[in-house]
Amino acid sequence: MPYQCTTAVSVRRWDRYTKVMLAAMAALTMLAADTAAQELRRAQTREEVAPRQGGEPIMAIVSIKSQQVTFYDADGWILRAPVSSGTTDYETPAGVFAIVQKKKDHRSNMYDDAWMPHMQRITWNGIALHGGPLPGHAASHGCVRLPFGFAERLFDKTRIGMRVIIAPNDTTPVPFSHPALLVPNAEALAAARVRAEPLAREAAEAAREDDEAKRAATIAAREAATFTASMRKLELSKGRADAELASADKAPIGARTDQTRMQVEGLKRRAAELAKQFDAVSAEAKQRLDASNAAKVAAEASEIKKADTARVADQANLSLEPVSIYISRATQKLYVRRATRKPVRDGGEVFDASIEVPVKIRNPGKPIGTHVFTAMAREGVGLRWSVVTIDNGDDAGSALDRITIPREVLDRVAPTALPRSSIIVSDEPLSSETNYRTEFVAVLSNHPQGGFATRDRTGDILSADDNLWGERGYEPLSGIRGISE
């Protein structure tokens, strides 16, 4: 009996000890989890620089979930910083974008002239990266706010056309290879460079000749106008002299005095002199008009030559720019963009949009996801690629397996593909914000986008068929609203 009592007491003590230990372990586990969460939050609220010399940024990935942006060069991440994206009802859209305009000092045209320094626009209806206050959570009206100092240091590192990916969750570029990715041809690249240089010189020479022809036409037209005006004045003077002479000749001969006869003789001499001057000026005016017409024809011809040579040179220069391909399951189309480096009068640059063709996607009713494949650097005779997935569907490899890119497109763009080239595969159609002054704008329709949907659509968009070149270039958009966070 005493043994049993002792045993019972020991069991109770052991149970209490076990409960205390379990509670302590649970508390330690919670403390560790809380510490890890705090450390993660601290990591997400501080700026970081890679422990190596960073190259030129190739892409930026914004995580809406973590409120963080990371910039990548060819060898990995180089910069990280906290951000503040759009708040409820003004959500920053998740999707695929590229920088289309940069402005160091910008102010909102919707929100009390708010200062938005070091603005890097990614849509023309007002979504941008820019410096701003960061309260530690989503707080903007759709833009992505960066720390003020970070935005300033970043500004000169990026270029128009740099990829900006806004992801709902955390994601990173992953090394990737696949037979469908673009493989450049060294001989084609070398030939493109050799071809582009003389064509650029020809285009510059044609532009110079066009300027000279226009100046010559202007001078010839001005001289012709001067002689034409002189001829008209002489014609009026000659008409008056002829009229005075005719009136004097009507007087009866017997009634004429010596003075009258002298006046008639003077009128005859004046009429004859004016007729002589008129004939001389008329002949000169005709020559000047002929010269003016010839100069005008020459100017028109030089303008055509300038446009033709510029077009050929532009096409050659395009082959020396990274190529971007967008494949949409929604539209069953493939689109190609390349930067032209041609500025537009009211901001931004022109992107070539001359290729838009149907594409075959196997099982078109099945989601494919949204995947961004990027050529990070040269590797041997080819390119080293990465992939970023921001919307679920097929995995990246299976997505490419389902697509058959038309051979004529591959033949046209693959041989001269360069680092920074990309292939984007998505369930989404291109956003209506995609136009001749953007690379690609694609928004995930299954995520909130209030800060995008509530903004005015950019007006007067040109399609790929309106790819205008020449003296006028593209017509500027109308109805563009500036950054309006």
Span 47-63, pLDDT tens digits: 999 999 999 999 999 99
Predicted local distance difference test score (pLDDT) of residue 471: 31
- CA torsion through residues 426, 429, 432, 435, sign: positive
Predicted local distance difference test score (pLDDT) of residue 13: 66
Predicted local distance difference test score (pLDDT) of residue 470: 33
Q: Look-up: residue for tokens 């989404």?
A: 428
Which amino acid does the sequence have at 448?
P
DSSP lists the bridge partners of residue 443 as 95
Each residue's pLDDT expressed in tens, for the chain with a length of 485 residues: 454 555 555 666 667 767 777 777 776 766 655 554 444 444 446 899 999 999 999 999 999 999 999 999 999 999 999 999 999 999 999 999 999 999 998 766 555 557 889 999 999 988 999 999 999 999 999 999 999 999 999 999 999 999 999 999 999 999 999 999 999 999 988 888 888 788 778 888 888 888 988 898 899 888 888 878 887 887 788 788 778 777 766 666 655 576 777 777 777 787 788 788 878 878 877 888 888 888 888 888 888 888 888 777 777 788 889 999 999 999 999 999 999 988 887 778 999 998 999 999 999 999 999 999 999 999 998 999 999 999 989 999 999 999 999 999 999 999 999 999 999 999 999 999 999 999 999 999 999 988 888 787 776 444 333 333 333 333 333 333 344 44
Predicted local distance difference test score (pLDDT) of residue 466: 37
Predicted local distance difference test score (pLDDT) of residue 109: 59
Q: What are 141's two structure tokens?
A: 């009206």
Closest CA to 320 of 338, 342, 343: 338
| Strand boundaries in 83-188, DSSP class E | 95-98, 101-103, 119-121, 128-131, 144-146, 163-167, 174-176
State how far the Cα of 414 lies from the Cα of 402, in Å rounded to an integer: 19
Q: Look-up: residue for tokens 């992953």?
A: 174
**Residue 88: helix, strand or coil by DSSP?**
coil
Q: In this structure, are residues 356 and 337 in contact, taking their beta carbons and an 8 Å threshold?
A: no
Residues 6+ apart with CB under 8 A from 414: 182, 183, 184, 185
Q: In this structure, are residues 97 and 123 in contact, taking their beta carbons and an 8 Å threshold?
A: yes
Beta strand pairing status for 48-49 and 68-73?
unpaired
| 115 secondary structure, DSSP code | B
State how far the Cα of 368 lies from the Cα of 139, in Å rounded to an integer: 32
Q: What are 90's two structure tokens?
A: 């003004």
State how far the Cα of 154 lies from the Cα of 410, in Å rounded to an integer: 35
Closest CA to 321 of 339, 344, 347: 339
R_g of the chain, CA atoms, integer Å: 37
Which amino acid does the sequence have at 327?
I
CA torsion angle 89 90 93 99 (round to 10) = 170
